[in-house]
Amino acid sequence: MNRGRFIGVGVGPGDSELLTVKTVRYLKEADVIICPEKKEGSGSFALDIAKEYIDMDKVAYMTFPMHYDVDELKKKWSSNADEIQDLVSNGKMVVFITLGDPTVFSTYMYLLDYLRETDLSIETVPGITSFCNMASSMNIPIAEWEEGFSVVPLRKSVDEKLINALDNFENVVIMKPSNDGKALAKVLKEKGLENNFVLVTKSGTDKEVRIKDIRYLEEEKIPYLSTIIVKKNGKL
Amino acid sequence: MNRGRFIGVGVGPGDSELLTVKTVRYLKEADVIICPEKKEGSGSFALDIAKEYIDMDKVAYMTFPMHYDVDELKKKWSSNADEIQDLVSNGKMVVFITLGDPTVFSTYMYLLDYLRETDLSIETVPGITSFCNMASSMNIPIAEWEEGFSVVPLRKSVDEKLINALDNFENVVIMKPSNDGKALAKVLKEKGLENNFVLVTKSGTDKEVRIKDIRYLEEEKIPYLSTIIVKKNGKL
């Protein structure tokens, strides 16, 4: 019988104690642990987080480029999926590690689009999201009572979706604010929300930084691993 | 020196392996573990999830009524907060367990409103949310690419906030659909989304049920611990 299987696990936002018990078990049981990196040799932050549970002999890096040429990306994902399929077909238990939670804006899901078409055994294990960790570390709710919340990525710049979220939700999580801090600062000011946000960088690590000053968004280069929470009730 | 401290931890949606390593450690180190229950003797689902990590001699139940009389609720929360303050002031390490994640619609946060005013040491440890677990167990994304998602509780019935979420987000998580399944079915049909949702009950437990048939919403009594994901792209 082929014990080969493919498992995607979320390693959370940055603290190695925020992995789940199940993820730790799968990392111990795995034959191969795939660590995504942006380009060859660039390293994997997911691996940095999980490394104390990982036998480095099992690690295989896999490149997932970060750019906007969809054809190029698809070719790469497809060949990555083929590699995984080969390993699993050969009886390997393959664990793919991903930052945060695998269901929230993760590269892992693009890979699944290819693997779902095979007959491989696939399992996904959730992880702690950056926004839950941010709110926890400040002892504040993401949402309470009859409030709702929305999560929107800032892809290139401020768009209608973000405006709508700010207009209609008491709580808005903005992912990847690094893509256009200036435009974001402008819209927060226009909506009178310049004192209703917090930006957190490297949540869950010992380099975590919290910023509530709108001038930072206007003037500084926001680091890549940053998230913003906007709370209209101002409890930040 | 007083080693007293108060820590709120999320135990996730239902699977005892979805607790984080940190939460398990705190449960082992705790002097007192507070388990919320709806009324005296009703038991605590959070405790059921975490019990394999808990020495039952440390357990203290605390009642958090589930009704809409805000004055009554506030009186109870305030007296619960006083009890906790006494324990912590007497040097106890007190861990409060909460279902899912403590920052997403949890009773724990109402308690913090009282404890924040004291000088107690407070820490919050995030947990796996029900919606991340649902999506993981189906191997589907909550959101991908340039999509956003929103999370709205169905408090009494369908309201403007929910309509807006359905109109403007590719992905909508509806918490507590049990409050008015019929009205929800009606609005999903009106928006042509009757085949674009999944309802999951008791996510993460061995009693997990998935339903995609709109007639269930119309005709059945939806169990309390249910969540709906609506995905306009239909990948469910």
What is the per-residue pLDDT across B158-181, written as a single tens digit (0 to 9) for each?
Answer: 888 999 999 999 999 999 998 899
The residue assigned the tokens 């959730």 is: A126
| Residue B78 DSSP label | H
User: In whole angstroms, what is the distance from residue B166 CA to residue B180 CA?
Assistant: 16
Q: B69 versus B8: which is more confidently predicted? A: B8
Tokens representing A76 are 């790469």
Q: Is the pLDDT of residue A146 over 90?
A: no
In chain A, residues with a C-beta closer than 8 Å to the C-beta of B105 are: 141, 143-145
Predicted confidence at residue A2, as pLDDT, reads 67
State the nearest Cα–Cα gap between B142 and chain A, in angstroms: 5
At A162 the three-state DSSP class reads helix
Interface probe for B, chosen from A144, A174, A176, A229 (most Cβ of B below 10 Å), is A144
Confidence class of residue B2 from pLDDT cuts 50, 70 and 90? low
E strand map for chain B: 5-10, 32-37, 59-63, 93-98, 122-125, 149-153, 171-175, 197-201, 209-211, 226-231
More confident residue, A187 or B43: A187
Can you tell me whether residue B45 is helix, strand or coil?
Answer: helix
As a residue count, chain B comes to 236
- Closest Cβ opposite residue B146 in set A104, A146, A155: A155
Model confidence pLDDT, tens digit, residues A172-186: 999 999 888 999 999
Contact A16, A49 (CB under 8 A): yes
Contact A142 B168 (CB under 8 A): no
Summarised one tens digit per residue, pLDDT across range B94-105 is: 999 999 999 999
Residues of A in contact with B19 (CB under 8 A): 20-21
Which residue of B lies nearest to A110 if distances are taken between CA atoms? B144
Size of interface A-B (CB pairs under 8 A): 172
Kindly report whether the global pTM for this prediction surpasses the value 0.90: yes
The residue of chain B nearest to residue A10, with distances taken between CA atoms, is: B136
Q: Name which of A20, A70, A158 to mutate to probe chain B: the one with the most chain B Cβ atoms within 10 A of its Cβ.
A: A20
User: Which two tokens mark A170?
Assistant: 């008491």
pLDDT tens figures, B10-64: 999 999 999 999 999 999 999 999 999 988 888 899 999 999 999 999 999 999 8
Which of A20, A109, A133 lies closest to B17 in CB terms? A20
Whole-number average pLDDT of chain A: 93
Q: Tell me, what's the ipTM?
A: 0.95
pLDDT(B1) > 70 = no
pLDDT at A236 over 90: no
Instruction: Provide the token pair at A24.
Output: 């730790």
Q: Is the pLDDT of residue A89 over 90?
A: yes
- How far is A204 from A60, CA to CA, in rounded Å? 25
Per the model's pLDDT, the better-predicted residue between A204 and A232 turns out to be: A232
pLDDT in the model for residue B22: 98
**Chain A residue closest in CA terms to B128:** A128
Task: Please give the residue of chain B at the shortest CA–CA distance from A9.
Answer: B136
From A109, A141, A149, residue closest to B144, measured CB to CB: A109
Residue B84 CA to residue B82 CA, distance in Å, equals 5
Contact between A136 and B22 using a beta-carbon 8 Å cutoff = no
Determine the distance in angstroms separating the CA of A169 from the nearest CA of chain B, rounded to an integer: 8
Residue in A103, A143, A155 nearest the CB of B151: A143
A-chain residues within 8 Å CB-CB of B139?
Answer: 112, 116, 122-124
**Which strands sit side by side in the sheet containing A5-10, from one edge to the other?**
A59-63, A32-37, A93-98, A5-10, A122-125
Determine, for residues A132 and B129 on separate chains, whether the beta-carbon distance falls below 8 Å.
yes
Q: Which residues of B touch A133 (CB under 8 A)?
A: 126
Indicate yes or no: CB of B109 within 8 angstroms of CB of A144: yes
Residue of B nearest to A101 (CA): B132
Residue B220 DSSP code:
S
